[in-house]
Structure 1
Amino acid sequence: MEYSLFFLIGGFVLGFAMAWNLGANDVANSMASAVGARAITIKQAMFIAGILTFVGAVFIGGHVTETVRKGIISFDAFSAHPEFIVIGSFSALFAASVWVFVATWAEMPVSSTHSIVGALMGVGIIAGGFGTVHWAKVGQIVSSWIISPFFSGILGFIFFIIIRKTILEKEDYVGMTKKVGPFLVAFAVFIIAMSFLLKTPLGKKLALGTWGCFGVATTICVLSGILGKMLISRWIGMIKNDIVEMVFRKLQVFTSCCVALSQGANDVANAVGPVAVIYFVIKTGGVGEKVPVSPMLLAFGGLGIALGIITFGHKVIKTVGFKITHLTNTRGFSIDLSAAATILIASKLGLPVSTTHAAVGAVIGIGLAKGFEAVDIKIIFKIILYWLITLPMVALTSMLIFKILTAIFV
């Protein structure tokens, strides 16, 4: 196709921009609770998350991307016009990048996955009409605005109540920390291990199957419980003040780091997937349902995510970590655990969820454990507003960009 060089170079530029925006906005999913609970500083969070998301993207990220992400539009609409695939991917990256940047500037957490999906939806409508869009899939995405935060909020509420009833409200809270803590560590490690293995690029590489993943995760869980018992006893012997919170501070840093690593592995495709499609179509003249993603492209996306975290990640972290409700280390641990559990359970059940929505929902649920007065309702309503307008905003923007580009180049 004509102007291939323009779209190839432009695609890489926009892919890097999308990765940068993804890092800047989505870092709050993993690090906001740890910063809000003052387990680590914002600078430490951005440095740690920058490294771990890069490692996750490069070494655990998927090497194959779906041509039409999440099956949101019919592939048949583009089969006869491969140039539309290139322009559509370019337009989707442009629209999604702009929207995530606007949301980050406003310090609002939004879903990068939903941004890309909404942009592709707009491309499908403008290229092939409303019949091109799989509206059932769109309905599932809309339902995730309710499923993700509600389910994660409920789990966060339950986990924190368990910690409060079994440890914080007990007279011998130090002794109960020694007894209950190892079980919480084991459960957290089980959830995290399953999150890395079940229906993930790493799990597919290992080819373990559901029961194989369960067996590996259970083994790691038992070993972690034993190690956790030893470490907690050692920490308690070293800590003099705020013993429980200090123990959970160490546990929370661990869970936040795991979430950051997983995030890099699972979200890098939102940035480099469309770039891989552009390159593949320009190179071959056509495209299948899946497109290979080279390790270099994963590293390219991982670098963009890391730079986004380091340079701009502080904005959304401040909103999720400080503005919704007051966080402590026990609450922060509950947030990480409930968000990870929500994503895992929903993935197994085939339900659509957003990591961003799950993380924010967990923060709200933890806040509500102390009553409605413990959460900032105005901030919550503002966040929900941004969630609601994400799909239509990026869809309309991508439609406009696609129309302009096809008028110029086709």
Structure 2
Amino acid sequence: MTLDAYTYVFAIGTIFALLEAYNNGANDVANAWATSVSSRSVTYRQAMVLCTIFELTGALAVGARTASTIKNGIIPSDAFGDNAGVQLLAFACSSAGAGIWVMWCTRHSAHVSSTYSLVSSIAGVGVAAVGASKVQWGWAGGQGLGAIFAGLAMAPFISGCFAAITFMLIKVTVHMRKNPVPWAVYTSPFFFLIAGTVCTLSIVYKGSPSLGLDKKPAWYIVSVTLGVGFGLFVLSALFFVPFVHARVVKKDQDLKIWDIIQGPLLFKRPTPTDAEHLHAKVPDYAVVQHSSGSETDVSEKTKQAPATKEVTSDEVAALPASSAASDSEKNAVPSIEYTYEQYQQLLRDAEDRHHANLRTKRGPLGWAMRTLHNNRLSAGSIHETHNLIATVKRIPAQIIVAIFYGMHYDIHTAQVGINNSPEGRRMARVYSHAPKYPNEVEHLYSYVQVITACTASFAHGANDVGNAVGVWAGMYAAWSKGTPSASKEDVPMWQLGVTAAMICIGFITYGYNIMRVMGNKLTYHSPSRGSSMELGAAITILIFSQYKLPVSTSMCITGATVGVGLCNGTFKAVNWKRVGLLFFSWVMTVPIAGLIGGCLMGLALNTPHW
């Protein structure tokens, strides 16, 4: 392979490596933040800001400076011999196979693990490049394909157990009390202690070799983790408890967030004279919040088309308006059957309403949506003059929409327009089996959940960024040196920064495709449930990392979500059809990503050349 060919392959491989990093953010990181956004602990925009800060900080400040160039040792380092060109091509095809598969899955809201996709693609490339006998199919010290399949089964189950234990602790301590609000207020520091200790341990134990954190003794790790945990405990007792006590117990609606600095002095703050007639000033954490007339308007449109059953406005009005409808109400609701065309019209009308709202906004996105709406293609072929002019006007608007659309997407609107569909009825049934706790209680755990979500992003940037940058670093080493890269290569700081930035961009612009599925279509979410899910996933990742077993953050949070859903006391509180689809996508990732990478490598190696 000539120098020009090396450069060409490296350029193509870089594009796919960045695409793989982009998909990592759109899939894995979006999945990690889905519980916080779905629980309404943070808005999507707040999640974007926090994710960007903590992902970049973790990657640049604490991120590991070395990464395995052949992920998880599936292909031995000496398998390529002295042929740097074949190794460079293998890395490029691996990134391409993983990037193509995860991009397709994200586009169709199918949740997969980008780490497993990359590993599977490398395995397929290994078969095509060096033969099946050179690929590590067994356990291989926890790094072979056998260990990967073991992690696929164990991680979700263990994560679900830890999450269930955490939520049951909250449920027994707080939710099952006759007056849960005071219990939630005064026990909140203990959950700050648990969250701070677990999350800090996950960072310190998997810390950066460049800072020497990987060589610290046990006493150092214990001291730092407990120090941070008890530090949060003390700070929350001094500042957080008085603040929420004034807000939710005294129902002081004049309290501002900056009043938290007064600490214990807030206990002496006078109680409002009309407190008994007031509601605590806290957000509404209901998963489904319907806009007025949204369903009725759509049904009035669709009933004009032929249906298997006549749909009247009275029947539509009789449908459950919220996720909290009782079982008796649901049994009284008549079954309304739509044709496939009517159902698609429901979704299109809901999307049209969403786009109509966007067109009223100021700024780039509002301009772009208005431009697209006012310059729609009309009758005739694309080469007609009026269509050519409209296409030219639409191009800049489409670019703006691609950049900003995800920033303005509310994942809760995924419910709008499908209440009368099989999916909508299934979600309503799932939500009906989950107790709805007071907003005042859930408000306390929204703060804990922000801590767990931010720490998850920090840990992802500090540790898991190596999954996205490892193959790219191997390509860069082979291209710049002209010799095969070693089993471990130094990762330049700029590569870490670029990879982390692409992960954040993927989450911001495309993450809503995964968040709307994982967030509100699996089980009922609330801040107390969401914080338990994230803690359960963090504990599982920590245990697996100790034994160097491959584990996916996405699979852990999915297992934790199911575990917390089962704590509602019935299997009906989980959308098992969606769980089955998720598990199916995990299993199919291994052969499909491996096949894509292997086919690309086989075609590249056997292309006629002179």
Same fold (TM over 0.5): yes
Instruction: Give the superposition deviation at 1:204.
Output: 5.6
In structure 1, give the amino acid aligned to 2:18: F
Query: Is the contact made by 1:232 and 1:247 (CA closer than 8 Å) also made in structure 2?
Result: no
Q: Which runs of 5+ in 1 are unaligned?
A: none
Aligned residue number for residue 91 of structure 2? 89
Aligned residue number for residue 162 of structure 2? 155
Aligned residue number for residue 201 of structure 1? 208
> Take 1:289 and 1:167, find their aligned partners in 2: how far apart are those partners?
51
> Take 2:448 and 2:587, find their aligned partners in 1: how far apart are those partners?
34
TM-score w.r.t. structure 2 length? 0.65
Aligned residue number for residue 57 of structure 1? 59
Output aligned runs, 1:172-183, within 5 Å: 172-183=179-190
In structure 1, give the amino acid aligned to 2:111: P
- Post-superposition Cα deviations, 1:259-311, rounded to whole Å, max 9, x if no partner, equal 11211222222222111111111222132111111111111101111110111
Aligned residue number for residue 127 of structure 1? 129
Instruction: Give the superposition deviation at 1:345.
Output: 1.6
> Take 2:52 and 2:206, find their aligned partners in 1: how far apart are those partners?
24
Aligned residue number for residue 556 of structure 2? 358
Aligned residue number for residue 36 of structure 1? 38
Structure 1 residue ranges, 4+ long, deviating more than 4 angstroms after superposition:
none
Query: Is the contact made by 1:36 and 1:322 (CA closer than 8 Å) also made in structure 2?
Result: yes
Q: Are 1:299 and 2:497 an aligned pair? A: yes
Query: Is the contact made by 2:82 and 2:484 (CA closer than 8 Å) also made in structure 1?
Result: no
Question: Structure 1 residue aligned with 2:241, among 232, 254, 264?
Answer: 232
Query: Is the contact made by 2:63 and 2:461 (CA closer than 8 Å) also made in structure 1?
Result: yes
Q: Are 1:171 and 2:168 an aligned pair? A: no
> Take 1:110 and 1:51, find their aligned partners in 2: how far apart are those partners?
25
Query: Is the contact made by 1:155 and 1:362 (CA closer than 8 Å) also made in structure 2?
Result: yes
> Take 2:118 and 2:508, find their aligned partners in 1: how far apart are those partners?
22
Query: Is the contact made by 1:27 and 1:317 (CA closer than 8 Å) also made in structure 2?
Result: no
In 2 relative to 1, CA 79–200 (structure 1 residues): closer, same or farther, beyond 3 Å?
Answer: farther
In structure 2, give the amino acid aligned to 1:168: H
In structure 2, give the amino acid aligned to 1:328: S
Query: Is the contact made by 1:346 and 1:352 (CA closer than 8 Å) also made in structure 2?
Result: yes
In structure 2, give the amino acid aligned to 1:403: G
Instruction: Give the superposition deviation at 1:131.
Output: 1.4
Question: Structure 2 residue aligned with 1:244, among 431, 441, 447?
Answer: 441
> Take 1:383 and 1:204, find their aligned partners in 2: how far apart are those partners?
38
Report SS of the residue matched to 1:291: strand
Q: Which runs of 5+ in 2 are unaligned?
A: 139-143, 252-279, 281-438
Question: Structure 2 residue aligned with 1:264, among 461, 479, 494?
Answer: 461
Structure 1 range deviating more: 142-151 or 58-67:
58-67
> Take 2:533 and 2:87, find their aligned partners in 1: how far apart are those partners?
40
In structure 2, give the amino acid aligned to 1:256: A
In 2 relative to 1, CA 339–282 (structure 1 residues): closer, same or farther, beyond 3 Å?
Answer: same
In structure 1, give the amino acid aligned to 2:564: I
More helix by share: 1
Q: Are 1:346 and 2:534 an aligned pair? A: no
- Post-superposition Cα deviations, 1:184-239, rounded to whole Å, max 9, x if no partner, equal 11111111111111133268633423332122111111111111222133222123
Report SS of the residue matched to 2:67: strand
Question: Structure 2 residue aligned with 1:78, among 80, 86, 90?
Answer: 80
Instruction: Give the superposition deviation at 1:106.
Output: 1.7
Q: Are 1:378 and 2:577 an aligned pair? A: yes
Instruction: Give the superposition deviation at 1:139.
Output: 1.1
In structure 1, give the amino acid aligned to 2:522: I
Aligned residue number for residue 475 of structure 2? 278
Query: Is the contact made by 1:46 and 1:314 (CA closer than 8 Å) also made in structure 2?
Result: no
- Post-superposition Cα deviations, 1:347-388, rounded to whole Å, max 9, x if no partner, equal 123433211100011111111111211111111110001000
Instruction: Give the superposition deviation at 1:74.
Output: 1.7
Query: Is the contact made by 2:25 and 2:507 (CA closer than 8 Å) also made in structure 1?
Result: yes
Instruction: Give the superposition deviation at 1:123.
Output: 1.3
> Take 1:286 and 1:349, find their aligned partners in 2: how far apart are those partners?
29
Question: Structure 2 residue aligned with 1:393, among 577, 592, 599?
Answer: 592
> Take 2:62 and 2:105, find their aligned partners in 1: how far apart are those partners?
28
Aligned residue number for residue 194 of structure 2? 187
Report SS of the residue matched to 2:104: helix
In structure 1, give the amino acid aligned to 2:440: I
> Take 1:43 and 1:219, find their aligned partners in 2: how far apart are those partners?
32
Q: Are 1:336 and 2:534 an aligned pair? A: yes
In structure 1, give the amino acid aligned to 2:217: G
In structure 2, give the amino acid aligned to 1:80: D
Question: Structure 2 residue aligned with 1:145, among 134, 146, 152?
Answer: 152
> Take 1:384 and 1:235, find their aligned partners in 2: how far apart are those partners?
40
Report SS of the residue matched to 1:408: coil
> Take 1:40 and 1:140, find their aligned partners in 2: how far apart are those partners?
36
> Take 1:233 and 1:409, find their aligned partners in 2: how far apart are those partners?
74
Aligned residue number for residue 264 of structure 2? none
Report SS of the residue matched to 1:73: coil
Query: Is the contact made by 2:30 and 2:507 (CA closer than 8 Å) also made in structure 1?
Result: no
> Take 2:596 and 2:54, find their aligned partners in 1: how far apart are those partners?
32
Larger radius of gyration: 2
In structure 1, give the amino acid aligned to 2:181: V
Query: Is the contact made by 1:18 and 1:97 (CA closer than 8 Å) also made in structure 2?
Result: yes
Alignment coverage as a number of residue pairs:
410
In structure 1, give the amino acid aligned to 2:182: G
Q: Are 1:215 and 2:211 an aligned pair? A: no
In structure 1, give the amino acid aligned to 2:98: A
Report SS of the residue matched to 1:65: strand
Query: Is the contact made by 1:148 and 1:361 (CA closer than 8 Å) also made in structure 2?
Result: yes
In structure 2, give the amino acid aligned to 1:236: H
Root-mean-square deviation over aligned CA pairs? 1.7
Question: Structure 1 residue aligned with 2:518, among 311, 320, 325?
Answer: 320
